Amino acid sequence: MTRQYQCVIFDWDGTLMNSEARIVSSIQTAAERVGFPVLPYDVSKQIIGLSLEKAILTLYPDADASGIEAMAKGYTDCFWMNPVCRCCRSMARKLCCNFCTVKA
């Protein structure tokens, strides 16, 4: 097969998936699991676009290092459990293996 493209770039949010609800749900579930207050949807969505640690500290400014670590793990676990996310990860791996050369 001849490679037609050297690089394929996807705009994730809004193109492949509207992830707002997934982000909010994941942060709320993580908070519940670690015993932090579950904040309202509109408050939780304000962290979209921030790095994960900054997002957690924005929502929970009194969180200590272990709380931040637990929230980060909980959030990541919840977010990637979504079947759409697992499907997109699988698709990206297949595209990379079949059509792309990754250069460091």
* DSSP track, the chain: -----S-----TBTTTB--HHHHHHHHHHHHHHHT-----HHHHGGGTTS-HHHHHHHH-TT--HHHHHHHHHHHHHHHHTSHHHHHHHHHHHHHHHHH-----
Q: Is the pLDDT of residue 100 over 60?
A: no
**What's the gap between Cα 27 and its chain centre?**
10
What does the pLDDT look like over 63-93, one tens digit per residue?
999 999 999 999 998 887 766 555 666 666 6
- Whether 23 has a pLDDT exceeding 70, the answer reads yes
Domains of the chain plus CATH, in order, are: 20-99 (1.10.150)
Give whichever of 8-12, 53-57, 78-82 has the largest mean pLDDT.
53-57
Average pLDDT over the chain, rounded to whole? 81
